[in-house]
Amino acid sequence: MTVPNEAATSIRTPHLLIALKDATLSGFVAFGLFFFLIGLRSEQGSTGALEISTRFQTLALLVAAVFAGTFLRTLAFGRGPIPIAGAVPASVTDFLASAGRFAAPALLIFALLVPVLFYQNRYLLDLGILVLTYVMLGWGLNIVVGLAGLLDLGYVAFYAVGAYSYALLATHFQLSFWICLPLAGILAAFWGILLGFPVLRLRGDYLAIVTLAFGEIIRLVLLNWQSLTGGPNGISSIPRPSFFGLPFTEAEGSFASTFGLEYSATHRVVFLFYLILALALLTNWVTIRLRRLPIGRAWEAMREDEIACRSLGINTTTTKLTAFAIGAMFAGFAGSFFATRQGFISPESFTFGESALVLAIVVLGGMGSQLGVAIAALVMLGGFELFREFQLYRMLVFGGAMVLIMVWRPRGLVSTREPSLRLDDGKAAAQDAK
Amino acid sequence: MSAGPDTAPSPGPILRVDHLSMRFGGLVAVADLSFTARRGDITALIGPNGAGKTTVFNCITGFYKPSAGRIRLEHPDGSAYLLERLLNFRVSKVARVARTFQNIRLFAGMTVLENLVVAQHNALMKASGFTFAGLIGLKVYRDAERTALDKARYWLDRTGLLPRADDSAGALAYGEQRRLEIARAMCTDPVLLCLDEPAAGLNARESAELNALLQFIRREHAISILLIEHDMSVVMEISDHIVVLDYGVKIADGTPEAIRNDPKVIAAYLGVEDDEIEIAEAEAGL
Amino acid sequence: MEYFVQQLIIGVTLGSIYGLIAIGYTMVYGIIGMINFAHGDVFMVGGFIALTAFLALLAIGVTSIPLALFLVLLIAMALTALYGWAVERIAYRPLRHSYRLAPLISAIGMSIILQNFVQIAQGARVKPLPPIITGGHRVMSSEGYDVDISNIQIIVVLTTLVLMLGFSWLVAKTRLGRDMRACEQDLKMASLLGVNIDRTISLTFVIGAALASVAGIMYLLYYGVIDFYIGFVAGVKAFTAAVLGGIGSLPGAMLGGLLIGLIETFWSAYFSIEYKDVAAFSILIVVLIFLPTGILGRPEVEKV
């Protein structure tokens, strides 16, 4: 995005006095903001009544930190916006851009090798599956938010539709995973169209809040429709996946015995890993193909300027609807994978927090960038596994990151956009081969 | 190539606006406006700021639904469309009316070339079998894409943007953006091209280039042009026919010569004496 | 009949709280055309500040309940207003000229921050506060069913009424109100005519947050419980109220709030309490589809 001109023209006088003044002001503001929420804390005592306790030390530390932070910021950058474009040297951005060409294949090879390298490490394999699930969700939402520019805050609803579709179809009708998977995708897409058809005419921010409401409606219905969904208890003993009909058990005719392997519980985990990797790669492949097709270009054009699209004869309603439905379909796939992997689902897995997490991944990764989304998912989920003791701070950091990214790099961390086609056919062919 | 020059312009009007009115709440933006634009002509719609010119455009191009009146468009093959009944995007898709915007609306984050390819969306969409054929990479689609690229290249060449084809549209200079918007509109294969102040913000040289481009479009592609313009040097030089609006009402209608000498126009539009027109024109044209 | 009247009283009380929150949405939307997603959480923050302030006042020996409540009102309004200011300053102002999704995403980020900040700072568990304002009046009674109106219900409705009148006066008569209306018409034009836009927008957030904090206090006093999550649901409902009444319109926000409060109450009373939120959210969707300008809103002309 364009950096406001002020950046260049603002008076860059890093006076000590100004910095001190700003810092004092910020300190006071921080004190006001934090005194009653951090300095004091209400807690239910042994009698059940609320008691108040103080944490003035923490408060003092925080206020001091805000003071120091503002002081240093004003001293270093003045009052204008921080010139972030200059803060990252061009050589670094260039390096990142060129590294991007290698990063994607490198990441892919690494992902393929994870089960081989970490065969013994069940924990890492599970983490890998989790990350890949979010990569897939991120790529799916990227179609809606990143390409088409539609802010969908209820994406998790389609994930839930997929998960419950699989769970119900598999437990009631004994349908196999491979039949349920497309069905779940179709059902989720169907719900996407059902919701999208009336609401996609709305302006962008209305759409956001309607999808948010829709997500909550789905969750509340799942929670309260006890007879179908089991309510808060969810659905358990969902059939686990089989290797194209060969179950991962010790019994005769199982995967292990058929291939003459010694039974190991890891087989299933490895299979799940490759399954979600394949699903994620499918999402990626379809997205990349679609971007080079008229529909994909219309999505991006719509993100840039909807009115101009209409003036060119593009039916924006159906264009939005396809983005919405395709995004929902991939969420449905991911949902049914989630259900078969967990073996148990409940409405608790489909809260607004999940939608927000996936959105954060897309936003941080750089809207529209496939690689960026994958890296963001890896960093955010992997990073928080590394720092487990800070689990509580996870969403706080996500929220903070969303605000910071919007202020500093609205197009996300990876913001270079590859054109969908070039004039020179030779070059275009080279693009295709990549 | 695009709508070729094979169809000899028939003398009838391409666009006939009858008793068009547009009200916003209590405000009457356009009142009972009637005019015709002849096929192959460049028709200019002029008038002071707030005269309702852009509102007329928005009615013709399907962005507003007129409160009353009829807008009839006739294609060279004789088929006719009532534009006030066509929903927004259909005016462009079905009736083939293309437009540009007063405050340029490009797809700034996409490349120049992509802007022109997006404009050919409907043709490409059909060729891609509504995405399915395109997804598996059928030859039909690849051919269609090549044709689309050829058309884009043709218009890039015509507008002098060929070297900038792979740059992002937002990075173009102002004058280039104006030209790109016209090129993009032309890529939709229109029969009527509506330009909303195409010369606004252009310098004298760019204005002259614009004149040449518009005359080329009219001459070589047999496309009728309707334009809103403040820049009198553009209007007087290239229009065949001028309609003058003031406060939503038509006050004059005729050839540039007639308009130039119409005292009503001079009084209403410029509000100054004859010899001061030149100066006022220069100011109004920025 | 008696049951109906009782529900009516409950609905109006609830609706008043929604209405106060809705004003914040509608004002901000009117001026900068953006949904302040974090507004519901600002309401929640107001409730929490009030709670800790009240407990702290008790702890330092302020035993007079009216005095304590008055001080709590002042503290909560002032500090929540500070939150409103900070939110605008940090998350929205730098984005005023960014692309269209940026402020929305930033607002969602802010909402997540506030929710999790309070969760971390004050704990995730529900905070119960014993009833502070007790007593009430019997309105009518027949055949074993009594209709009561409690003092807290009267206070909630009266406070809302007073704040609404005060705020309408502010918008209609003061310099600030005039600036706000000017900004609502045309931000650029207002700035050319010498309206200090940054200040006006800041004050809009500040006032909206102050009103939301009052709603937070009343929520706390009325329900006697508060947790970090109340802002989310109450926020969506108040937004629904703003849209239903016609976004940008002050009487609309109040009317919408009352309607949502009544619908929710009657839905719970006569149909199913489990689906009361579903009902409210569904209304949002239905209104946006069929009546996007709301009851008192002006039709929006697309700027081409």
Going by C-beta distance under 8 Å and a sequence separation of 6 or more, which residues neighbour residue A240?
Answer: A247, A248, A268, A340, A343
- Tens of pLDDT, residues C44-57: 999 999 999 999 99
A3 touches chain C (CB under 8 A): no
Q: How far apart are CA C150 and CA C155, in angstroms?
A: 9
- The amino acid sitting at A204 is G
Mean pLDDT, consecutive 10-residue segments, chain A of 434 residues?
44 70 90 90 82 88 92 79 59 66 80 79 86 94 91 92 92 85 93 86 79 90 87 83 74 74 79 91 91 90 90 90 93 94 89 88 82 87 78 83 84 74 58 43
The bridge status of strand B97-99 relative to strand B192-196 is parallel
Report chain A residues whose CB lies below 8 A from the CB of B95: none
- The amino acid sitting at B71 is I
* A294·B124 Cβ contact <8 A: yes
Q: How far apart are CA A299 and CA A309, in angstroms?
A: 10
Report chain C residues whose CB lies below 8 A from the CB of B101: 304
3-class DSSP state for residue B12?
coil
Cα dihedral sign, B15-B21-B23-B27: positive
Question: Contact at 8 Å (CB) between C3 and C145?
Answer: yes
* C304·B54 Cβ contact <8 A: yes
pLDDT at residue A330 in the model: 95
* Selected residues 49-68 of chain B with any CB under 8 Å from a CB in chain A: 61-63
For residues C215-236, one letter each, b for 16 or more C-beta atoms within 10 angstroms of the residue's C-beta and e for the rest, the string is: bbbbbbbbeeebbbbbbbebbb
pLDDT at residue A67 in the model: 92
Domains detected in chain B:
13-105+193-284 (3.40.50.300), 107-171 (no CATH)
pLDDT < 70 positions in chain C: 299-304
Q: How many residues does chain B have?
A: 286
pLDDT at residue A89 in the model: 59
Which one of B87, B103, B114 would you mutate to disrupt binding with A, by most A Cβ within 10 Å of its Cβ?
Answer: B114
- The amino acid sitting at A303 is R
Report chain C residues whose CB lies below 8 A from the CB of A205: 34-35, 104
| Structure tokens that stand for B45 in this block | 């719609």
- Tens of pLDDT, residues C12-35: 999 999 999 999 999 888 888 888
| Structure tokens that stand for B201 in this block | 């913000």
* A308·B101 Cβ contact <8 A: yes
Chain C closest CA to B87's CA: distance in Å? 14
∠ CA(C84), CA(C89), CA(C94), 5° rounding? 140
Which one of B61, B63, B110 would you mutate to disrupt binding with C, by most C Cβ within 10 Å of its Cβ?
Answer: B63
Report chain A residues whose CB lies below 8 A from the CB of B168: 417
Alpha helices of chain C — where are they, by DSSP H?
2-32, 39-59, 65-87, 102-122, 151-173, 175-185, 187-192, 197-223, 230-245, 250-270, 276-290
Chain A closest CA to C52's CA: distance in Å? 6
* B92·A310 Cβ contact <8 A: yes
Report chain B residues whose CB lies below 8 A from the CB of A286: 135
pLDDT at residue A269 in the model: 85
pLDDT at residue A338 in the model: 94
For residue B212, the surrounding DSSP H or E stretch is helix B204-221
Question: Contact at 8 Å (CB) between C52 and A42?
Answer: yes
B92 touches chain C (CB under 8 A): no
pLDDT at residue B130 in the model: 66
**Least CB–CB distance from C116: residue in A38, A52, A395:** A395
Chain A closest CA to C89's CA: distance in Å? 11
B154 touches chain A (CB under 8 A): no
* C128·A38 Cβ contact <8 A: no
State chain C's maximal CA–CA distance in angstroms. Answer: 67
Which one of B54, B86, B88 would you mutate to disrupt binding with A, by most A Cβ within 10 Å of its Cβ?
Answer: B88
Q: What are C136's strand-pairing partners?
A: C150
Note every long-range contact of C52-59, with CB atoms under 8 Å and residues 24 or more positions apart, other chains counting: C52/A36, C52/A37, C52/A40, C52/A41, C52/A42, C52/A52, C52/C122, C53/A36, C54/C129, C54/C132, C55/A40, C55/A42, C55/A50, C55/A51, C55/A52, C56/A36, C56/A40, C56/A52, C59/A52
**Least CB–CB distance from B63: residue in C298, C299, C304:** C304
What is C66-96 written as a DSSP string?
HHHHHHHHHHHHHHHHHHHHHHIIIIIGGGT
Report chain C residues whose CB lies below 8 A from the CB of A402: 105-106, 108-109, 112
Chain B closest CA to A201's CA: distance in Å? 12
B24 touches chain C (CB under 8 A): yes
C126 touches chain A (CB under 8 A): no
Q: How far apart are CA C38 and CA A377, in angstroms?
A: 25
| Structure tokens that stand for A379 in this block | 């960093």
End-to-end CA distance of chain A: 28
Closest chain A residue by Cα to residue B183? A312
Domains detected in chain C:
2-135+148-290 (1.10.3470)
pLDDT at residue B198 in the model: 87
B259 touches chain A (CB under 8 A): no
Which one of C285, C300, C302 would you mutate to disrupt binding with A, by most A Cβ within 10 Å of its Cβ?
Answer: C285
| Structure tokens that stand for B229 in this block | 């313009």
Question: Contact at 8 Å (CB) between A153 and A211?
Answer: yes
* Selected residues 59-78 of chain B with any CB under 8 Å from a CB in chain C: 63
A25 touches chain C (CB under 8 A): no
* B121·A313 Cβ contact <8 A: yes
* A208·C115 Cβ contact <8 A: no
Fold of A100-433: ABC transporter involved in vitamin B12 uptake, BtuC (1.10.3470)
CATH 1.10.3470 spans which residues of chain A?
Answer: 100-433
For residues A279-310, one letter each, b for 16 or more C-beta atoms within 10 angstroms of the residue's C-beta and e for the rest, the string is: bbbebbebbeebbbbbbbbbbbbbbbbbebbb
Each of the 286 residues of chain B gets a pLDDT tens digit; together they read 344 444 444 557 888 888 988 888 778 888 888 888 888 888 988 887 777 888 888 898 888 888 888 888 888 888 888 888 887 888 888 888 899 998 889 998 899 999 999 999 888 887 776 666 667 667 778 788 888 888 899 999 888 888 888 888 888 888 889 999 999 999 998 899 999 988 888 888 888 888 888 888 888 888 889 999 877 777 888 888 988 888 888 888 888 888 888 887 777 665 544 445 455 555 554 3
